[in-house]
Amino acid sequence: MTNPPTGACLTDDLLQQLAHDELSPAKLAEVEEHVGHCDCCRAALELASSDAQWTNEIQPVLQRPAEPLPEWDECEELGIDTPRYESVLQLLGPTDDPNMLGRIGSYEVVGIIGRGGMGVVFKAFDRTLNRFVAIKMLLPHLAESGAARKRFAREGQAAAAVIDDHVLPIYSVAEWQGVPYLVTQYLRGSTLQKRIHQSGPLELKEIIRLGLQTARGLAAAHAQGLVHRDVKPSNILLDGTVERAMLTDFGLARAVDDASITRTGVISGTPQFMSPEQANGEPIDHRSDLFSLGSVLYAMCTGRPPFRAETTFGVLRKIRETSPRPIRETNPDIPTWLDAIVNRLLAKNQAERFATAAEVAELLEQCLAHVQQPTTHPLPPTLEALLQASAAQESPRPTHTEAAHLAPQRRRWLIGIPVAASLLAAGLFMIMNQQPGQVPVTADPPGEFTDESADGPSRRESSPSEPLTEWNSIRSAFRALDSELTGFESEIETARPSPSQTETEPLEVEAGANP
């Protein structure tokens, strides 16, 4: 459950002060905290900032993903009864059915099932066709904005142009009391985001199947010249009856030939799943959706997005500058070939990613056949080159098992290091603790003679300078050892188990040894 917004909603005066950078740091922090939980104010702020100089700075705050609402009886706890949402409910027409909230056109409204930055999603019943539908209605105060109405209409036009089993279909676009709304198919399932949140990493077959279906939906959109621009788990619906993934929410989609898609300096999309070119506000094309698809696959493999930070700007910086933690470090059950596919999708350079979503879909289809029937369906040959390229880009660290099987000669050297150091330290201790003038007693090496008298063998005479000579010899040995160890520092480091391994794998103790 999401937390209710803190503080009052933004007024027009406050928006103007924000646009002209007239807010104090404390007030700005308060506004950002409120906007992080209030979708209404996020949408208002987005529209107000469309032509402002501070668009690049405030857009990431606006693009934090809205979370789905729970059932209707919990909506009051989330602030759904605030004036902005009350205005939506007041638009509902009367109904003769006491079990319904109201009516939108010919549709009987059952309840609210979701919300976004620009509107509310209702579950409704179409009595004409005897089926449930979903109705996404623009917030009334945003309906007065030409930019908001244009974007809302674009979503309907974009999604309606794509006919595919893995794109949520739109049945109609209409207006009710001056407010536009979309009527779409109603799914009885959930979202991929909720599935990951509840289950963590998914099973291999499910990862490939859902990734394949999402890639097919993207391929259909790209074939119509559309770039989705906001591919993320919460925009992938799961049909609970047949476990079919359906891509939805084309609110940010634009046609490739639309001049606005090449406009720089504007950040649109959800930070944790956007591409580096989106994070930089640079021109994008369909390959940006492929990067986001790679982020979705990563989340299904590990249970978390590939780029995480405490702030939105921190996430954007990581997307631009760093590589995510290797999938197999988090989930070693993921095969190397799937890891390689995700790595190519997450390439910072657009040219290094797959060429099309259709290519990704075809590859995942062959991989799914291999997972289901490995003996009759080998992995596609194209994966071999992909694995080699992935291995060349990374310098893999040995796992805990691999580290335990180092080459015998190297392992003997590593084991001998503490022994040699102990012997040298013991010699140093003896020299440092001897009294002035005291001669250390040493065993004569084999074959070396000592002075003898008639009374028998005598100890060799030693001058006071001999301890210093011994110390110089030991110091030289230490330096030699340090020099030889330099080349093995990285090997010693990689031989250590990771924190997750030390937590899950108990230390093996030989029989009779004290733990």
Query: Could you list the pLDDT tens digit for every one of the 515 residues in the chain?
Result: 444 445 667 776 776 677 666 777 778 777 777 776 665 666 566 555 443 433 343 344 334 443 333 332 233 333 344 455 677 788 899 988 888 999 999 999 999 888 766 678 999 999 999 999 999 988 888 788 777 777 777 778 778 889 999 999 999 888 898 888 999 999 888 899 999 999 999 999 999 999 999 999 999 999 998 899 889 999 999 987 778 999 988 766 555 444 343 344 445 556 889 999 998 888 889 999 999 999 999 999 999 999 998 888 888 899 999 999 999 999 999 999 999 999 999 999 999 999 999 999 999 999 999 999 999 999 998 888 888 777 776 644 444 444 444 344 444 434 444 444 454 455 545 545 555 544 444 434 444 333 333 444 444 444 444 455 555 555 565 555 555 544 444 443 444 444 444 333 332 333 333 33
Residue 309 confidence (pLDDT)? 87
Dump pLDDT digits (tens) for 262-320.
Answer: 344 445 556 889 999 998 888 889 999 999 999 999 999 999 999 998 888 888 899 99
Cα–Cα distances (Å) from 193 to 170, 279, 507, in that order, read: 22, 22, 37
CA 161 vs CA 186, 220, 235, 255, 256: distances in Å: 18, 10, 18, 11, 14
Angle separating helix axes 25-35 and 55-62, nearest 10 degrees? 40
The DSSP secondary structure of 318-339, one letter per residue, reads HHHH-PPPPHHHH-TTS-HHHH
Q: Specify the amino acid at residue 2.
A: T
CA nearest 330: which of 189, 227, 200, 513? 200
Taking the C-alpha atoms of 200, 203, 209 and 210 in order, what is their torsion angle to the nearest 10 degrees?
Answer: 0
User: DSSP letters along 148-171, please?
Assistant: HHHHHHHHHHHHHT---TTB--EE
pLDDT digits (tens, 9 = 90+) for 400-426: 444 444 344 444 434 444 444 454 455
- Does the reported pTM lie above 0.85? no
Exposure string over 464-481, b if 16+ CB within 10 A, otherwise e: eeebeebeeebeeeeeee
- pLDDT at position 408 is 44
| Beta-bridge partner residues of 159 | none
pLDDT of residue 340: 96
- Torsion region of 437: left, alpha or beta (phi above 0 gives left; psi -120 to 50 gives alpha): left
What structural domains and CATH numbers belong to the chain?
12-62 (no CATH), 72-115+118-185 (3.30.200.20), 190-385 (1.10.510.10)
Look at residue 139 in the predicted model and tell me its pLDDT.
Answer: 82
Q: According to the model, what pLDDT value does residue 138 have?
A: 85
Q: Which residues are catalytic?
A: 230
Torsions phi, psi for 452 (to 5 deg): -125, 150
Q: How far apart are CA 125 and CA 135, in angstroms?
A: 10
